[in-house]
Structure 1
Amino acid sequence: MYFRVAIIITALTLSACSSWVFRYDVPQGNYLEQKSIDKLQVGMTKEQVKFILGSPVVVDAFNDDTWSYVYKLKSGRSKDFDIKKQFIINFSDDKLISAAGNFKLSDKFNTPFNTTAVTEELDNTNKANLDQNTSVKHKVTSGK
């Protein structure tokens, strides 16, 4: 009888030491995608960059012109699956001047961002929408 109990206790004790214990993946920081990085261009303001990438994890206390986006995934399976990525952005006079990290910058990154072209494009789009709305109102009011 004691022999059976000893075998059962030994079996349970050894099974508790197995590597089959489930562990969660633990993500920390800003998860960035390449398509977001591709939207960045030199000359963008801090607000525009924050809109595209989100708030940075770290802003240097002594130099608020350097933003750090850090992402770390600690895998529950094995250290072989751990991921660590960082992306550091530098500003001068509230304008994006450089970026570096584990992501590839797009070909248009060094093309200065032109806010007037974007504003003109938005104005043209709004004007076209206004023209469409006006023609719809005329059709509705005329009863046709």
Structure 2
Amino acid sequence: MRKSLCFLSVSASLTLTACSTALSYLPVYTIDIQQGNIVDQAMVDQLQPKMTKRQVLYVLGSPMLNDMFHQKRWDYLFSEKRNGEDRQQKKLTLFFDDADQISGIQGDFKPGNVPQFKPTLETTVDVPKRDIDRSLWEKIIGVFGFSGDDDAPKAAKENKNTENNLPL
């Protein structure tokens, strides 16, 4: 009895370990996990010396880390894990001078020699100015005989004007 119990436990443990190694080769869907600011080389190539913080916000977005003790330093972190691969982490640190302009760049990205400009997809439309004689409210109260200037009816105003113009 004792031998059969020992044999059964050894065979069960070998079977379970074999299943775990067999399951690791099965195709299992894993989601891609992205964390932080997505920063790529094209975005870094748009950075130029003496760019203001506002311009950097337009190109890269808001920084991932804003340190209270280092106000002149912005950190952009990007972490990505795809299909069970090892995690890839990239970092970009921007330093600003006293005039809030870029003074230095550190990290996994190196800016290009020639600045590149991202073509904009925005369009500008000129809307002609509307010539509005009266507002909607003025039209509504005009139906009831009131002018937009006063609360007195138009007929009373006309009578007042004609009374003043009577010959004496």
- TM-score norm. by structure 2 comes to 0.52
- Closer, same or farther in 2 for the Cα pair 1:57/1:22, shift >3 Å? same
Deviations 1:48-88 (A, max 9, x none): 00100111101112111100001011233232xx3111000
The structure carrying a bigger strand percent of its residues is 1
Q: Identity across aligned pairs (percent)?
A: 33
**Structure that is richer in helix per residue:** 1
- When residues 102 and 49 of structure 1 are mapped into structure 2, their CA distance, relative to the original with a 3 A threshold, is same
Q: Residue 87 of structure 1: which of 88, 92, 102 is its match?
A: 92
- Please list, as runs of the form range in 1=range in 2, the aligned pairs for 1:1-144 lying within 5 A after superposition: 14=19, 18-19=23-24, 20=26, 21-79=28-86, 82-93=87-98, 94-108=100-114
Deviation of 1:97 after TM superposition, in Å, equals 0.6
Distance 1:105 1:98 in 2: 11
- Counterpart of 1:140 in structure 2 is none
Q: Once the two structures are superposed, what CA deviation does each residue of 1:17-60 show, in whole Å capped at 9, x if it has no partner?
A: 71233221211111112111111111111000010011110111
Give 5+ residue unaligned stretches, structure 1: 1-9, 110-125, 131-144
User: 2: distance between equivalents of 1:49 and 1:84?
Assistant: 21
- The number of residues matched between the two structures is 103
Q: Does structure 2 retain, via aligned residues, the 8 Å contact 1:26–1:76? A: no
Larger RCO, structure (CA 8 Å, separation 6 or more): 1
Root-mean-square deviation over aligned CA pairs: 2.9
Superposition TM-score, scaled by structure 1 size = 0.60
